[in-house]
Amino acid sequence: MTDVLQLLTDRIRTPIGEMLIIADEDGNLRATDWSDQEARMQRLLRLHYGEHGFRLEPDRNPNGLADAIGRYFAGDLKVIDGLPVETGSTPFQREVWRALRGIQCGTTVSYGELAERIHRPAAVRAVGLANASNPVGVVIPCHRVIGSDGSLTGYGGGIERKRWLLEHEKCAPRRAGGKKKHDKQS
């Protein structure tokens, strides 16, 4: 018989909506998402852990993770850098997600640059797919990846949230004169 992974859930208010936080009993962050994207998060959890491979239990501030993420939204931007993360994923996805965590707060990279960082310059599309399947948004900062032309591109939580996160981190792309570049969904 296979063990069912016990996952603890909490919800926190942020300036850009309610965030769901999923942690394991060992204190590792397993997933984050926005309440209005809960169905997508459930789908990703089933993909990573199997249809019946996990059970969600409400908890308050599991292992201090909710408080830490709350501090990030309050301005302590570095607090997310050291949060423990454990995900069910492929080795390639984990490689991309490690590279995402290496993007300095206050900076952005393109998908092509991210592919180069993992020494797979031809894998731009695969990097994009791994980025899109990141179950731990904000902490694994997929919002720091932008289009090669500097435009904001797709973000699971929506372009406005991505824009807010980049503004919060002071790295939103801008044209000369302070106007934002054209945004596009992908």
Q: Which positions are annotated as active-site residues?
A: 142
3-class secondary-structure state, position 119: coil
Amino acid at 108: T
Residues 97, 139: Cα–Cα separation, whole Å: 10
46 DSSP 8-state letter: H
Residues 55, 73: Cα–Cα separation, whole Å: 28
Strand partners, 136: 32
Burial letters 145-177, b for 16+ CB under 10 A, else e: bbbeeebbbbbbbbeebbbbbbebbebbbeeee
Residues 127, 111: Cα–Cα separation, whole Å: 7
Query: Closest Cα to residue 110, out of 149, 162, 168?
Result: 149
**Number of other CB atoms surrounding residue 34 within 10 Å:** 20
